Chain A
């Protein structure tokens, strides 16, 4: 088992060091930093996710917890796309290939160790995992997923490229499917400081009536950026016991929570069908196609997919209406009412697809 690898800068706080050390004790886990490495002080910095290459039963506890799978009538499914602005998605994964739109590549050359090219592919695995969670929540509802590669195989990106990815998702049009539009974007990235360029991109999305769902971050502290921006829908993480995940960031910006797993049970999902840079680093010799991961990165796509379901059921809904519906139907956890740990509560897909009437009945 490979020990914790960190690309952190020196002089991190003591709390973070403790947090990292504790999480590093989890079996089968390595750290994958999603870091906005830049000398520009205005760029947002790091968020970390735990990648568990083993662990997790694959019983779909996360989907059961949120009540996914309820049969719905979704007449607009073919016109409503959900975008994953991340490390890309494996374009040939058998569980995803039928619903993937052509990847929008903001990164270009993406070579690991000078010999393995991930150009046009997910060289990290993070984005493929997220897309798999979304596909799991969507189930038989055939909403397409638009992969937007804005972060390379290292899992380290910058705010400008991610912002370009957000705008590309909003502006995506398919001549062969003229009615198709991205209505919701998943952003499982973040850092400690705000980024004007990223906030502007999210505002641009909202101005086009596209909802942006953002992971709250995994530092046990205040909500990261851009999740903390008022324009974002910030998502925290819960465990298999429907409790707050210890790493999940907290604060009044938190809108809702969803399964993110923890050391005892990760969220299982798709993984690239080829060896990723992470696999090479860990010495994995055979592709595994599925894997478990833990983090608010995993929580956010549950909410993203639930939003896509609502748009697929009624594409007249606005992003604000969908946001209201998601929050209003969440199962209240923790202190009564909204709180800084779970927001309005844990996502309940069964409720959100059924409670849209005058009196939310």
Chain B
């Protein structure tokens, strides 16, 4: 009997000492993701068996409980499948423009032609989808403010995400009757993000609630590249974020979240891993729309909104 106990303990010790192998949930993948010149690629996604993690500013990524093979994906780079024991991964940049599908099959008619033209002028390939199935070979799919959704569409989106397509989901404030926040959350929740039905509000010194908020402090650095004045959102909703997702844009310390009566910084944009790619959620869609803001400027032109859109697509 004593001998049998010793044998079991010995076996466990062997398992725990195995390199990166977790006896309770598979191996742990830990690597640095770079381009072919050795430059770190923050934002790259490592995924395996439905789980994913995003590389930090140094390109480091860690994902536990992986199978023997791990997929590495970064928008604009060739997707790679590597062994889970690999410690460094180098991705090759793809030639040609990034392809963006602007899915308007489920959206209320909010014009966004300005930002689309801007992105084309900046070297992106943008096509608008108004009917038919979702192409599975795009780099980025933008779903702006869907007012309805179908199970079939959900399946198409998940398939695209697992094939390495980044999803950019644009919500709205919770009182807008033209947005199906549950549909957006159905896509983002696996990454730890949910679109809440509240509203972010900041009061001016005169005591009036502001319908627009200009926010700086975009994180991480690649998403803030080229931003000078910040990002302006208009009557935005709120996101709830939990691991593995992380916030990328937050409101000020004095802002208020309607419904929960929560005073303090509120998350207005977040990202997380979904399938083999990223999902990037923003709690407002009008920041990229042609609608005019308080000063008469189209909202996509306000502050650094256009540059922020470029960063969101290419990062």
Residue pair B176, A338 in contact (C-beta under 8 Å): no
Determine whether A17 belongs to the interface, using a CB cutoff of 8 Å to chain B: no
Q: Would B174 and A320 count as touching, CB distance under 8 A?
A: yes
Chain B facing A: main interface SS: loop
The binding surface of chain A is classed by DSSP as loop
Asked whether any CB of chain B lies closer than 8 Å to the CB of A166, the reply is: no
Instruction: Select one of A313, A324, A338 contacting B175, CB under 8 A.
Output: A324
Interface residues of A in 301-328 (CB under 8 A from B): 313-314, 316-318, 320-325, 327-328
Instruction: Give the contacting residue for A358; candidates B172, B207, B259; CB below 8 A.
Output: B172
A222 part of interface (Cβ distance < 8 Å): no
Task: Tell me whether A324 and B174 are in contact (CB under 8 A).
Answer: yes
The 8 A CB mask of A83-117 against B (1 = contact, 0 = none) is 00000000000000000000000000000000000
A332 touches B209 (CB 8 A): yes
- Which A residue's beta carbon lies closest to that of B182? A318
Question: B307 in the interface, Cβ–Cβ < 8 Å?
Answer: no
Task: Answer yes or no: B311 CB below 8 A from chain A CBs.
Answer: no
B258, A324: Cβ atoms closer than 8 Å: yes
Asked if B177 and A317 sit within 8 Å, CB to CB, the answer is yes
Is the beta-carbon distance between A324 and B201 smaller than 8 angstroms? no
Chain A residues within 8 Å of B211, by CB:
359-361
Contact status B259-A324, CB under 8 Å: yes
Interchain CA distance A338-B201 in the complex, whole Å: 10
Counting CB contacts under 8 A, is B289 at the interface?
yes
**Which residue in chain B gives the minimum CB-CB distance to A325?**
B175
How many Å from the CB of A228 to the closest CB on chain B?
13
Cα–Cα, bound, A358→B171 (Å): 10
**Interface membership of B261, Cβ < 8 A:** yes
Quick check: A324 and B198 within 8 Å, CB to CB?
yes
In the bound complex, how far is the Cα of B258 from the Cα of A321, in angstroms?
11
State in angstroms the CA–CA spacing of A338 and B256 once bound together.
8
User: In the complex the two chains form, what is the Cα distance from A355 to B208 in whole Å?
Assistant: 16
Q: How many Å from the CB of B39 to the closest CB on chain A?
A: 39
Which of B176, B182, B211 counts the most A-chain CB atoms under 10 A from its CB?
A: B176
Residues of A within 8 A of B174 (CB): 320-321, 324-325
Q: Mark A335-355, 1 if CB is under 8 A from B, else 0.
A: 011100000100000000001
Task: State in angstroms the CA–CA spacing of A327 and B173 once bound together.
Answer: 12
A-B contact list, 25 entries, CB within 8 Å: A313-B177, A316-B147, A317-B177, A320-B174, A321-B175, A323-B259, A324-B199, A325-B174, A325-B175, A332-B203, A332-B208, A336-B203, A356-B175, A356-B176, A358-B234, A358-B289, A358-B291, A359-B211, A359-B212, A359-B235, A359-B286, A359-B291, A360-B176, A360-B211, A361-B235
Interfacial residues, chain B to chain A (CB-CB below 8 A): 110, 145, 147, 172-178, 181-182, 197-199, 201, 203, 207-209, 211-212, 234-235, 256, 258-259, 261, 285-286, 289, 291
Q: Which 8 A-B pairs have the closest CB atoms?
A: A325-B175, A320-B197, A324-B174, A336-B207, A324-B175, A359-B235, A358-B286, A360-B235
Q: Chain A: residues with CB nearer than 8 A to chain B?
A: 252, 313-314, 316-318, 320-325, 327-329, 332, 336-338, 344, 355-361
